[in-house]
Amino acid sequence: MLRSDELKKGLERAPHRSLLRALGVTDFEMSQPFIGVINSYSEVIPGHVHLRQVAEAVKAGIRAAGGTPFEVNTIGVCDGLAMNHAGMRFSLPSRELIADSVEILVQAHAFDAIVLIPNCDKIIPGMLMAAARINIPAIVINGGPMLAGHWQGRAVDLSNVFEAVGAVTAGRMTEEELASLEEAACPGCGSCAGMFTANTMNCLTEAMGMSLPGSGTCPAVDAERLRLAKEAGMRVMHLLRQNIRPRDILTAGAIRNAFAVDMALGGSTNSVLHLMAIAHEAGVDFSLGELNSLSARIPHLCKMSPAVGGHHIEDLHRAGGIQGVMRRLADLGVLDTTCMTAAGQSVEENLQKAGVWDDSVIRPLDNPYSASGGLRILFGSLAPEGSVIKKAALAAGQSLYRGPARVFNSEEEATQAILRRDFRPGDVIIIRYEGPKGGPGMREMLTATSALSGMGMDGDIALITDGRFSGASRGLVIGHVSPEAAAGGPIALVEDGDMITIDLDNYRVDIDVDEGTLRRRAEKLPAWTPRVTDGYLRRYAEYVSSASTGAVFRM
């Protein structure tokens, strides 16, 4: 029996059938499985502006394989457009609303299976969280990456524009050059061209097996994207007939495979938040501490933008894509190749067709960028529950740093000070009360980090926050410090001039202040008061958990 039979079969369902006929549904279509096509099309997100065409291809595939598609929509936030103003408070919180809205749409309309069409940042993990929660046959087909732009003879992307703002402030670039770069950096539709959060999550969705091989890296404008969309529509019908469900795919092995690929790629730090949240919804127990043991075993094979001189997603696709990276990792013996995928085959079966066609983009195992992975989890007296750094975006040899703290209680305060160049080389800029609860919403600090990079200071300044960083950030930047300041974490006790030590080799970030002093400071710490007292963000701040557990809702 199909789930949709509850909607369309039996005498008492005559009113329901009448409503379906009002949609133009024929008797033949009513006899087939009902497939939800969950689209996040939007005219305000460059990564989503073309998703109507992708959805049409998906629906064609569903019809060809014997299903009746129904397209519905979810919300989405463009992190680039939301950056550095109050809108960024809503970005991470939108993930929970997306997950809830997909659940509501699917359950209320009794879809038998679903095809999810995301492309950017929080939309991807939100949809995957919903898929794991609902646990009916599902497949993801994302919209694909934007092509890199070209400016003054080199490939560029959005991160270059953010960094150029700092370069203009420092007198290293003219405003005319910035205007020219601005016009060239984002040449069309798709998720921004580097290994930022959107593309990291699209790549990891393929690594987890929830999308078809090639889906993570095929450019948005390539006809292959539409072929993949049709195949996804056809494939979901096979998943329905075989009763393969998200929790059959999103196993502990699949989550570890995703983190392994993440380490090899040097992906966005936000992937830690999102994979932890997906694991939570899938019922997979995964702790932050496991990531360092994975990182120690996984070589960093791909140097991707925003790393200086990094490749873009189109380069990775031509070199063999995520399947090529996984082929290398499987040869190393660090993948669970028995995991089932939405292709209806195991990882091992998928990888039989995989190869690497450019060793300069996906390096051989005997010539990695580093022997350990691109992300590290740092613990210590400043972050007892953990924090995260994108080691892949650091200069070579940058593993130990010690400097005095410059403390700011908001992103705005810190950004203004940075743009005034009110800091000294060797400082450790602390931005606090920007965590999930304190922000609220755990804003990204791309404007601050990009300004430092544009000034040529990203190797001379460290930045630590209980907020987040965009996947486009680079330099010695540590985010997700837990517990956050609003929860009374040690980051709330830091004062200007306190010495901070960052030791990447030993996975630590410490405040060099004795426990007695910290205890006295804690006793004098004023009670935290919410910045937002009404609307969704007030509810979000009330229910959200620590970044160390994925910033999911406490139930």
| DSSP state letter for 438 | T
Distance in angstroms (rounded) separating the CA atoms of residues 195 and 201: 9
Q: What region, left, alpha or beta, does residue 150 occupy, with left being phi > 0 and alpha being psi -120 to 50 degrees?
A: beta
Which residues, other chains included, contact 15 with Cβ-Cβ below 8 Å and sequence gap of 6+?
Answer: none
CA-to-CA separations, 88 to 338, 416, 443, 452, in angstroms, rounded = 40, 17, 5, 20
Compute how many other C-beta atoms are within 10 angstroms of the C-beta atom of residue 291.
25
**Could you give the CA distance from residue 409 to residue 433 in angstroms, rounded to a whole number?**
6
Q: What is the C-alpha to C-alpha distance for residues 279 and 285, in angstroms, rounded to an integer?
A: 7
Active site residues: 470
CA 139 remoteness from chain centre = 18
Distance CA 335, CA 258 (A): 9
Quick one: which of 361, 299, 373, 369 has its CA closest to 331? Answer: 299
CA 533 – CA 287 distance, rounded (Å): 32
Residue among 11, 7, 47, 241 nearest 137 (CA): 241
- Residues 19 and 25: their CA atoms lie apart, in Å, by 9
Question: For residue 409, what are its two tokens?
Answer: 């209680």
Residue with tokens 């992975």: 373
Tally of CA atoms within 13 A in the half-sphere of 300 that contains its CB? 21
DSSP E strand stretches across 240-383: 375-378
Q: Which residue matches tokens 């975006």?
A: 393
C-alpha distances in Å from residue 163, one per residue of 159, 315, 375 = 6, 22, 22
For residue 306, give Cα distances in angstroms to 260, 396, 447, 497: 20, 15, 14, 31
Tokens of 186: 């984002």
Rounded Cα–Cα distance for residues 261 and 182 (Å)? 32
